[in-house]
């Protein structure tokens, strides 16, 4: 699968999960420290729109309304369109806080972020959080290259510091551990 297909697959997994959300889920805690399900959804909408804006070289669009499921659907389509535009993967773009990166790197970063948030949402609402092996393996390979710098990992950064996970653990556990989540997290 290429990076565009990987990203769209992760977006679709999130959309499928979100379609089954109930009002009572929105106040549940998530593995993202201090965030409820609603706040995680808002982050995903805003982040997806920010990635789309970065590759377009524009300011991020505001989230559409207060219904985060509908807003995410719009954001997912916006990002898919922006990422698939001619030349985007080869062109460089600036993402706030991370400097100038290739479009392909930005799409890959969005994919990893989206997929790990699929896991976060699954854990928060108590459904099976085992990720698709192909998607998790691709995300793990990409995330292994993330630097151990304060702007990328640690308090206030995009990802927490890695959590120790055995090398023979399932790929889902190794991915979330690499990105600072305990594979055994529960509310």
Most confident option among 11-15, 32-36, 155-159: 11-15
What six digits make up the tokens of 55? 């590759």
pLDDT band at 163; cut points 50, 70, 90: very high
pTM of the model: 0.95
In a domain, 110, yes or no: yes
Calculate the CA dihedral of residues 170, 176, 177, 179 and round it to 10 degrees. Answer: 150
In a domain, 183, yes or no: no
pLDDT band at 160; cut points 50, 70, 90: confident
pLDDT band at 155; cut points 50, 70, 90: confident
In a domain, 184, yes or no: no
Count of domains forming the chain: 1
In a domain, 186, yes or no: no
What six digits make up the tokens of 53? 């804006």
What six digits make up the tokens of 65? 């309304």
Supply the pLDDT for residue 153.
81
Calculate the CA dihedral of residues 127, 25, 4, 110 and round it to 10 degrees. Answer: -110
In a domain, 27, yes or no: yes
Q: How far is CA 41 from CA 45, 56, 97, 176, in A?
A: 6, 23, 21, 18
In a domain, 185, yes or no: no
CATH classification at residue 157: 1.20.120.450
Ramachandran sector of residue 183 (left: φ over 0; alpha: ψ -120 to 50; beta: rest): alpha
Structural domain boundaries enclosing 26: 3-178
Q: Of 127, 120, 151, 152, which Cα lies nearest the Cα of 33? A: 120
């Amino acid at each position: 699968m290429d990076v565009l297909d990987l990203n769209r697959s992760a977006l679709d997994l999130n959309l499928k999960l979100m379609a089954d959300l109930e009002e009572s889920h929105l106040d549940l805690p998530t593995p993202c420290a201090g965030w409820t399900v609603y706040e995680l959804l808002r982050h995903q909408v805003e982040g997806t729109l920010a990635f789309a804006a970065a590759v377009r070289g524009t300011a991020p669009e505001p989230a559409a309304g207060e219904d985060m499921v509908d807003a995410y659907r719009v954001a997912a389509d916006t990002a898919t369109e922006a990422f698939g535009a001619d030349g985007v993967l080869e062109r460089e773009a600036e993402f706030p806080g991370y400097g100038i990166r290739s479009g392909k790197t930005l799409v890959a970063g969005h994919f990893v972020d989206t997929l790990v948030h699929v896991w976060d949402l699954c854990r928060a609402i108590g459904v099976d959080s085992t990720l698709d092996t192909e998607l998790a393996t691709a995300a793990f390979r990409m995330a292994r290259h993330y630097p151990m710098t304060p702007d990328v990992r640690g308090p206030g950064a995009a990802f927490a510091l890695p959590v120790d996970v055995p090398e023979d653990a399932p790929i889902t556990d190794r991915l979330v551990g690499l990105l600072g989540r305990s594979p055994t997290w529960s509310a």
